[in-house]
Structure 1
Amino acid sequence: MRRPASADPGRMTTTGLTPVTRDRLFTRPFVVLALAELAYFSATGVAVYTLPVYITGPVGSDAAGAGLAFGAFAVVALVLRPVAGRLADTRGRRPVMVAGAVLCAVAMALTAQAASLGGVVALRLLLGAAEAAFFVAAVAALVDLAPQSRMGEALSYNSLGLYLGLTAGPPLGELLVRTAGFAVAWSAAAVLAGGAAALVLGIGETRPPGPPEQGGGHLIHRASLPVGLAFLASTVAMGGFFAFAALRAAEVHLATTSLPLLTYGAVVVAVRVGFARVPDRVPPLPLGACAILTMAAGLAVSAAWAAPAGAVVGAGVMGLGIAFSTPALFAAIFARAGAGERGAASGTASAFLDLGLGGGPIVLGLVARSSGIAAAYGVAAGVALLGGIWALVLAAQERAAA
């Protein structure tokens, strides 16, 4: 098994962490990277609200057209993430991030001029490429910047930019559409993405100097695949929850159907801020396994407890699991990647994210259509259970190999 490039005392290994030193985390590049991600994902959040109402409004299409536009984005992002990871390893993190942010800004600005569904879909294809480039390179840059002894903490804090951007972006989009129109909303998204590009320019190149390591430059980071399967199980469960949380709330007669999602989001943010150091104090795979099993428990509660309280409690438990799952599993993945392979590892891991969040709702939607949302939640809980067990198996293998 490949070990991390550094073998300093107190650095992360695949079997855990021995905290000896407290390396500095909040450097200027680390903070600027987080701000760039906040700007970029705020632009994405504006589009999340604006796109469907734009397509069903001025463009004159329907819900199926809106779904097509969203789907085109996800498909391109999935296909191009490994390519973006290879470029980040061979060309550098900064140029790939800047290219992604600039491409996003251009596509957002041009969407305001698109008068047909085909035109919007074409621009969404560009946005899929932009998101693949920016996100993959940004994660690789984060791993470059963060001390290995605080990797889990870095992942916890850094993810807040994504969550806050996707949370604040839709209300901003709604405000702009209602008060100033679609053109202003799309232009605001373009400005935010352009701001992300400008911030990235101020970070500098983070890729370690020298040629890529032996085995670097691959499209797929093979050492990440075993942990990636556990991550896939968590994202399938997550995607099912996102897709059906509001519908399940309505089904159990919860007056405010967005409350489960709000509860989930509040728990994730609170836990990642308040317990950011936990992923560095607990071996990542056992922590990831416990987190995925907690997600399974949350889905099981939501499925079995057909009452408003069940929807809210289940969402809270789900949020607790998600809060730890991604930092822990990403830490386990990057512990298997050398400095010259971080782009490939990021691309591979984020491809699993696309597969789970994209494919999970589709498959679970078929279950919901035939057997109901509770059954779909039950299947999602089963997938998470298998993923948690698999993570425990990997952890046991690592302990045996140590």
Structure 2
Amino acid sequence: MERLWTKSFILMTVGTLFLFNAFYMLYPTLPLFIKQMGGNETQVGLSMGAFMLTSVLVRPIVGGLLDRYGRRPFIVWGLLLFILAMYLYNWIGGIVVLMGLRIIHGISWAVSTTSISTAVTDMIPSARRGEGMGWFSTSMTLAMAFGPMVGIWVIQDLSYHALFLIAVVLSAVALLLTFGAKMPFRPQEGTRRIELFERSVLPISSSIFFMFVAYGGITTFVPLFAESINVNSGVFFLAYAATLALSRPLSGKLADRYGEAFVIVPALIITIVALICLSFSTGLLGVLISAILYGIGFGSAHPAIQSATIRLAHPDRKGVANASLATVTDLGIGLGAIMLGWVSQYTSYSFLFMVSAVMVVFSMLAFIFFVKRSLITEELQNTSING
């Protein structure tokens, strides 16, 4: 069996852990920062959504460039801009300026994360793609556990100034780690047209979009919801991420053995149940149960969908495929944050999470009707070729 745990894979995975820690430190704290500046729920949603929607515009361009010019230049420049954006939060004085910085930050996020995930995809043996993506995704999961808790602790015991400086240091460490990784890529020659979207992953994109609309609501409004019922939002993110960390490697192996469809549909059903549970939560117990269920459901579905996306794409177009996946992901999170911001302002957090559950129902239906058959057909073809 081909080796998965190479030096380069480890360095990139650990670097991603540091980068996502910096990123997730802001997720539960930035909505509180905006509220402290005098913003309302709609402005919170717009600020979080502006970040992701900017990524939507940038990622398709980056994906095509990655397949032509390689991964490393975009990793370096993307992370440098990300570090600069993190530092500039210290100088924010109003909502309008914050919106502008969120756009710059979104550009840096699109460039750095698209290039990093594509470079890691190159390093993973095809026979162990589900397992490899599961372990790589676990670095993001651990960041989901530690980032929100550290972020909340820092603003409670120190300051927002300290929060942004710590995020700068973590991002800089991520950049330094990537320099030690070898990236197995040979830039394309000639003047081949740069593609902005991988058409073969269009059907699965609809399922991904709805799943991440719900995710946008969770990551943006759980901190405010938890505060409204006197629960520390860090508890939700810790329980969610710990469960997700345990489920992802196992679900990746199951996807490699039985196919992605075997994992995705049950995982989405569990995700729906988690969001319904959160909608009815009034205290710590309900929040913990919903976090655990969401960690199992979303934690199993996400790497399986990543693996399925790469399986359906052409081997020479992994950069575009990764960018397409990330673009739809960011679009879902961005529009979810904005749309659900309006929902929460005019209704309630309970109704917001119920709407999120409906979005995951749409995700499951889209997968069953548009994607499942294609995956099964592709798996049967591979089995016959290998046999």
TM-score over 0.5 (shorter chain): yes
Equivalent-residue separation in structure 2 for 1:24 and 1:143 (angstroms): 14
Letter in 1 for 2:210: A
Letter in 1 for 2:6: T
Letter in 1 for 2:103: L
Equivalent-residue separation in structure 2 for 1:386 and 1:261 (angstroms): 25
Out of 11, 14, 34, which is 1:35 matched to? 14
Equivalent-residue separation in structure 1 for 2:349 and 2:169 (angstroms): 39
Match of 2:201 in 1: 224
Equivalent-residue separation in structure 1 for 2:282 and 2:38 (angstroms): 36
Match of 2:146 in 1: 168
Match of 1:281 in 2: 257
Q: Is the 8 A contact 2:131 2:253 kept in 1?
A: yes
Q: Is the 8 A contact 2:244 2:296 kept in 1?
A: yes
1:324–1:74 Cα change, 3 Å: same
Would you say 1:211 and 2:188 are equivalent positions? yes
Instruction: Give ranges in structure 2 of 5+ residues lacking alignment.
Output: 382-387
Equivalent-residue separation in structure 1 for 2:331 and 2:353 (angstroms): 18
Match of 2:120 in 1: 142
Q: Is the 8 A contact 2:145 2:242 kept in 1?
A: no
Out of 203, 206, 210, which is 1:233 matched to? 210
Equivalent-residue separation in structure 2 for 1:272 and 1:163 (angstroms): 9
Q: Secondary structure at the match of 2:181?
A: coil
Equivalent-residue separation in structure 1 for 2:46 and 2:277 (angstroms): 33
Deviation at 1:275, TM superposition (A): 4.8
Q: Is the 8 A contact 1:292 1:325 kept in 2?
A: yes
Equivalent-residue separation in structure 2 for 1:70 and 1:100 (angstroms): 19
1:53–1:373 Cα change, 3 Å: closer
Residues 168-218 of structure 1 show CA distances to partners (whole Å, capped at 9, x for unaligned) of: 2344445555666554443332222222222212213332x2527998731
Deviation at 1:283, TM superposition (A): 0.8
Match of 1:201 in 2: 179
Q: Is the 8 A contact 2:263 2:301 kept in 1?
A: yes
Match of 2:385 in 1: none
Equivalent runs, 1:273-312 vs 2, <5 Å: 273-303=249-279, 309-312=285-288
Letter in 1 for 2:171: A
Match of 1:358 in 2: 334
Q: Is the 8 A contact 2:63 2:320 kept in 1?
A: yes
Deviation at 1:300, TM superposition (A): 3.5
Match of 2:84 in 1: 106
Equivalent-residue separation in structure 1 for 2:279 and 2:31 (angstroms): 29
Deviation at 1:65, TM superposition (A): 6.0
Would you say 1:396 and 2:379 are equivalent positions? no
Q: Is the 8 A contact 2:131 2:256 kept in 1?
A: yes
Match of 1:81 in 2: 59
Equivalent-residue separation in structure 1 for 2:130 and 2:190 (angstroms): 24
Q: Is the 8 A contact 1:90 1:212 kept in 2?
A: yes
Residues 248-292 of structure 1 show CA distances to partners (whole Å, capped at 9, x for unaligned) of: 6688x6866664444322211121245542221121134222222
Equivalent-residue separation in structure 2 for 1:94 and 1:112 (angstroms): 29
Equivalent-residue separation in structure 2 for 1:249 and 1:42 (angstroms): 21
Deviation at 1:347, TM superposition (A): 1.2
Q: Secondary structure at the match of 1:112?
A: helix
Match of 2:300 in 1: 324
Would you say 1:338 and 2:314 are equivalent positions? yes
Alignment length (residue pairs) = 377
Equivalent-residue separation in structure 2 for 1:112 and 1:43 (angstroms): 15
Equivalent-residue separation in structure 1 for 2:94 and 2:344 (angstroms): 32
Cα RMSD, aligned residues only: 3.3
1:201–1:357 Cα change, 3 Å: same
Deviation at 1:226, TM superposition (A): 0.5
Q: Secondary structure at the match of 1:335?
A: helix
Letter in 1 for 2:122: D
Equivalent-residue separation in structure 1 for 2:67 and 2:211 (angstroms): 27
Would you say 1:191 and 2:169 are equivalent positions? yes
Equivalent-residue separation in structure 2 for 1:339 and 1:231 (angstroms): 21
Equivalent-residue separation in structure 1 for 2:316 and 2:100 (angstroms): 33
Q: Is the 8 A contact 1:233 1:383 kept in 2?
A: yes
1:345–1:400 Cα change, 3 Å: closer
Residues 281-311 of structure 1 show CA distances to partners (whole Å, capped at 9, x for unaligned) of: 1211342222222212333444468786555
Letter in 2 for 1:127: H
Equivalent-residue separation in structure 2 for 1:337 and 1:390 (angstroms): 18
Deviation at 1:138, TM superposition (A): 1.2
Residues 135-192 of structure 1 show CA distances to partners (whole Å, capped at 9, x for unaligned) of: 1111111110001111111111111222323432344445555666554443332222
Q: Is the 8 A contact 2:69 2:187 kept in 1?
A: no
1:27–1:309 Cα change, 3 Å: same
Deviation at 1:134, TM superposition (A): 0.9
Instruction: Give ranges in structure 1 of 5+ residues lacking alignment.
Output: 1-21
1:369–1:213 Cα change, 3 Å: farther
Q: Secondary structure at the match of 1:287?
A: helix
